[in-house]
Copies of this chain bind each other. A is one copy, B any other.
Amino acid sequence: MEVIGGKWKVVILCHLILGTRRTNQLKKLMPGITQKMLTQQLRELESDGVIERKVYNQVPPMVEYTLTEYGSSLKDILDSLCKWGENHIVKVHGVNHDLLEESILNH
Contact = CB atoms under 8 A, between A and B. Distances in A.
A73 B83 CA distance: 11
Given A1-B5, A5-B1, A10-B1, A81 B88 contact: no
A10 to B, nearest CB: 6
A99 interface: no
B3 A88 contact: yes
B5 A48 contact: no
A88 B73 CA distance: 10
A88 B77 CA distance: 13
Interface of A: 1, 3-5, 10, 48-49, 73-74, 76-77, 80-81, 84-85, 87-88, 92
